[in-house]
Amino acid sequence: MGNFGIWVLTICLIFQSGYGFYLPGSYPLKHVVGNYLSVKVNSLTSIDTEMPFSYYSLPFCKPVEGVKDSAENLGELLMGDRIENSPYRFKMHTNETEIFLCQTNKLSSDDFKLLTKRIDEMYQVNLILDNLPAIRYTRKEGFMLRWTGYPIGVKIKDGYYVFNHLKFKVLVHKYEEANVARVMGTGDAVEGFPSVGNKGSDVPGYMVVGFEVVPCSVVHNGDLVKNLKMYEKYPSLIKCEPTTVSMPIKEGEPIVFTYEVTFEESDIKWPSRWDAYLKMEGAKVHWFSILNSLMVITFLAGIVLVIFLRTVRRDLTRYEELDKEAQAMVNEELSGWKLVVGDVFRAPSNPALLCIMVGDGVQILGMAIVTILFAALGFMSPASRGTLITGMLFSYMILGIAAGYVAVRLWRTIGFGDHKGWVSVAWKAACFFPGIAFFILTILNFLLWGSRSTGAIPFSLFVILLLLWFCISVPLTLVGGYFGAKAPHIEYPVRTNQIPREIPAQKYPSWLLVLGAGTLPFGTLFIELFFIMSSIWMGRVYYVFGFLFIVLVLLLVVCAEVSLVLTYMHLCVEDWKWWWKSFFASGSVAIYIFLYSINYLIFDLKSLSGPVSATLYLGYSLFMVLTIMFATGTVGFLSSFWFVHYLFSSVKLD
């Protein structure tokens, strides 16, 4: 009863976390009035090209102390984030206006062409203050739209205009230690939180709970800034009008950058400061997706129930009631799945490849479940950039032990307990899927390198990934293979004939049915798939991991049911080659996801420009669908294997 209660509580938590819980991921920093706040910059991004570039690849102002990297983890680097310091700085709770930042050198021909090209490609500047991305609000047709970052500039007719004056608004909330203790759940450990500055805890301080930016294009007088130093006051009044632009970009002319900042006290508490970013509309659509999946599951469950109760159970009961002589007579008149009893466990073609793919599928599936579950419970919040990718990578490596175990044990089962070749199978399981991933990502990385994008993985990180693969993942997979070799193989309930039975001619190609079966799992997934694709390619935040976990569970159930039904249908027409077909019956959902990806490219990413961007999109999509094929195919195969084993262990046929 205790275990049941825990499961009920867990399910309730996941349903409640349709939008995902948010565990802050970092402690609140106390900023005393007058303390300096430093703004950081992330890579320039665009939904037009999907290739991030360094902020300082364009002629922007650089900090006096020089540019320094601030990337914190592996996930940030893999995502293409290049977080660096910036010259923008504020004094806590001190409003400042007309702050001069710098005057660039005269724009060279190359700088001018690059700047106008980035404006054409709709690149955005992404600023970060106290781990919060800058947010921008625009009004359109009576609706308030929310964006992260701001555009570099804008093109009007034949002229290019740069946003060279930024109007910042920083929302702050008074630092209250009692509240912090309650939020963090640390009880009496409040004194353990560090405070920024050397002031005592009795000195009032503030926490940053919001960061907004309004970009403006303003013409500055170059003569007025000749003798100005960074952070000095611009001698003339600056009017920031976001609806008008007036600073054209001209070759051979410098650009003057300025900014202003206002502080505003807010009722937003520190744990709620990410709510503005994580709000996702359309909860009803997610619930509709789940309801749609449940209808497909119920339909398939009904078919499975009919197979078990009406067909299988009826036949088995009839055989059990007959005596041996009658059974012998009936055996001569057998039809359907009973006829393939001597061939149903005959080894498939390419058995080692099947074992390797199933082992890798278990590893990928385990990684997906662990990552999405932890994300749904709030342990991989967007406040901790890169933790989602880092978590996926490390859970995948650790689950190599499961891949080796499953691959080798299945290999020994197919080989009737023979230990021969298990090391080779375990080694190939450790290298097969990662090798495919490495090949695809290396080709895409060369494209990014050629474009000088920050999305390209640095060579040093390549070496780190290879070391993680061969020093952690491969040894763990071999350890799993060792345990799989020691574990008893699964005994077949019936003997296999020496001479294979001829499969009767079919009315229709069996592979056609297998490929068509993927439409049912796709039907449970395609609504959620739109939100995921929009998050990856349109720069939208995806934080409904609770819904995603539910959809994942429903998808796995549908995959198991589809594969089971198709395997039974093949056995009924005396087709005993079910091994690979059961894998691809559910794995074929990957084909439809790839077709959906092409559809998304044509109709939703119309602005995607250039062959390099399209190649990157299709390359990443191919990698995604291969991953899904391994995971869903594994679920289908294992459920079919269990079904066939159960079916023939229940029938008494010699």
Does position 234 have pLDDT exceeding 80, yes or no?
yes
Higher-pLDDT residue of 354, 195: 354
pLDDT the model gives residue 576 = 82
Over the stretch 209-231, which tens digit does the pLDDT of each residue have?
Answer: 999 999 999 998 888 888 899 99
Q: Are 97 and 238 in contact (CB under 8 A)?
A: yes
Most confident of 145-159, 281-295, 323-337: 145-159
Does position 459 have pLDDT exceeding 90, yes or no?
no
Name the pLDDT band for 151 (thresholds 50, 70, 90): very high
Over the stretch 425-435, which tens digit does the pLDDT of each residue have?
Answer: 999 999 999 99
What's the whole-number mean pLDDT along residues 129-154? 87
Q: Are 149 and 122 in contact (CB under 8 A)?
A: no
pLDDT the model gives residue 5 = 44
Higher-pLDDT residue of 586, 536: 586
Does position 186 have pLDDT exceeding 60, yes or no?
no
Domain boundaries, the chain: 22-184+201-278, 283-491+518-650
pLDDT the model gives residue 27 = 67
> What Å distances lie between residue 169 and 55, 134, 135, CA to CA?
22, 9, 10
Does position 177 have pLDDT exceeding 90, yes or no?
no
Over the stretch 81-119, which tens digit does the pLDDT of each residue have?
Answer: 889 999 999 999 999 999 999 999 999 999 999 999 999
Predicted TM-score (pTM) of the model is: 0.82
Does position 479 have pLDDT exceeding 80, yes or no?
yes
What's the whole-number mean pLDDT along residues 255-268? 94
322: left (phi over 0), alpha (psi -120 to 50) or beta: beta
Name the pLDDT band for 21 (thresholds 50, 70, 90): very low
Does position 148 have pLDDT exceeding 70, yes or no?
yes
pLDDT the model gives residue 19 = 43
Q: Which of 40, 20, 378 is nearest to 208 (CA)?
A: 40
Does position 46 have pLDDT exceeding 70, yes or no?
yes
Window from 78-82, 240-244, 332-336, 365-369 with minimum mean pLDDT: 332-336
Q: What percent of the chain has pLDDT over 70?
A: 85
Q: What's the whole-number average pLDDT of the chain?
A: 83
pLDDT the model gives residue 190 = 33
Q: Which neighbouring-strand residues pair with 257?
A: 102
Q: Return the HEC string of 167-192.
A: EEEEEEEECCHHHHHHHHCCCCCHHH
Pairing of strands 256-265, 165-174: parallel
